[in-house]
Amino acid sequence: MSFVSVRDVFQSYGRRPILERVNVDVEQGEFISIVGASGCGKSTFLRLLLAQETPTRGTISIDGNPPAVEPNPERGVVFQRYSVFPHMTIRQNIIAGESLAQPFGRFFGKAQRAARERADTVLERIGLAHVADQYPATLSGGMQQRLAIGQALTAKPRILLLDEPFGALDPGTRLQMHDFLMELRAETNMTVFMVTHDLTEGFKLGDRVLVFDKPRWDPTDPEAFGATITYDFDARDGGIPYQRLTEETHVPITA
């Protein structure tokens, strides 16, 4: 069985379908880029993997089990806007990334000292050791996002979920972050799901690029149908994708 297995997943909000019949298998260590039109349900898909929501129908399994409810060290998350704690120093933010995954939400005594040492190792790794005692507001956008990624990685998650993590960064910083993420990934063999609006970024970083789209479309009622994975591109092997159409081609449905 695949590491992550999504079977016939539907998600609706009220009567409004968002995702329809989503099926995908992901192996451990794969980097999955997710692209698709705004509002088609990409973040919803991530929330389902995080068990922040339960699918209306269908099943999701991670390593053979339903995704555990947060907080859980199995998964780390990074959103587009810096998800760091503004009232904590950089080091405290890193410690919080790990301690939130603890049963009581924090460390005590010896465990706290050990957590501090681990945090300092992470800070070295993400190039923020020199600002460990500063607050996030004093950092540039790229540094804050590096902190957010460092925070997500402290608990050594097996799955990293990235929702447009570099969307708010300038192009130069974005390229630096690509290198940073690829290095981390090579070190950890994490499975990564990354939502992006940038196709080039999706193909550059991803092993596979999943396209979410609506296979059925009613021009008189654009919200009548949900989206699914319409293409699953293999982005390895020199970046020349082969394409696999996972659903019937787009057929406009006229009333």
Ligand X SMILES: Nc1ncnc2c1ncn2[C@@H]1O[C@H](COP(=O)(O)OP(=O)(O)OP(=O)(O)O)[C@@H](O)[C@H]1O
Quote the least distance from Cβ 223 to ligand X, whole Å: 8
CB 160 within 8 A of CB 190: yes
Peptide bond into 165 cis (omega under 30): no
**Which residues sit opposite 11 in a β-bridge?**
19
For the bound state, the minimum distance from the C-beta of residue 32 to ligand X, rounded and expressed in Å, comes to: 15
> What is the closest distance, in whole angstroms, from the C-beta atom of residue 226 to ligand X in the complex?
9
Inter-residue contact 127 to 185 (CB < 8 Å) = no
**Which residue, 39 or 239, is less far from ligand X as judged by CB?**
39
How far apart CA 19 and CA 11 sit, in angstroms, is 5
Q: Are 227 and 19 in contact (CB under 8 A)?
A: yes
CB of 126 to ligand X, least distance (A): 26
Instruction: Provide the minimum distance between the beta carbon of 80 and ligand X in the complex, in angstroms, as a whole number.
Output: 8
Question: Does residue 228 interact with ligand X by CB under 6 A?
Answer: no
Q: Which of residues 31-60 bind ligand X (CB under 6 A)?
A: 36, 38-44
Nearer to ligand X by Cβ, of 18 and 94: the residue is: 18
**Strand ranges (E), 150-207:** 159-163, 191-195
93 interacts with ligand X by CB under 6 A = no
Rank residues 34 and 139 by Cβ distance to ligand X and give the closer one.
Answer: 34
Which of residues 98 and 163 has its CB atom nearest to ligand X in the complex? 163
Contact residue for ligand X among 13, 66, 70, 219 (CB under 6 A): 13
Distance CA 132, CA 223 (A): 47
The nearest distance, CB 107 to ligand X, in angstroms, is 33
Q: At which residue do the structure tokens 């904590």 appear?
A: 88
Does the footprint of ligand X cover residue 222 (CB under 6 A)? no
Q: Which residue has the tokens 């590096």?
A: 146
# residues contacting ligand X (CB under 6 A)? 10
**H helices within 105-170, ranges in order?**
109-125, 141-154
Q: Is 194 near ligand X (CB under 6 A)?
A: no
**Is the CB of 44 or the CB of 145 nearer to ligand X?**
44
Nearer to ligand X, 36 or 97 (CB): 36
DSSP for 58-102, please give it: EEEEETTBPPPPSS-TTEEEEESS--S-TTS-HHHHHHHHHHTTS
Chain residues binding ligand X by CB under 6 A are 13, 18, 36, 38-44
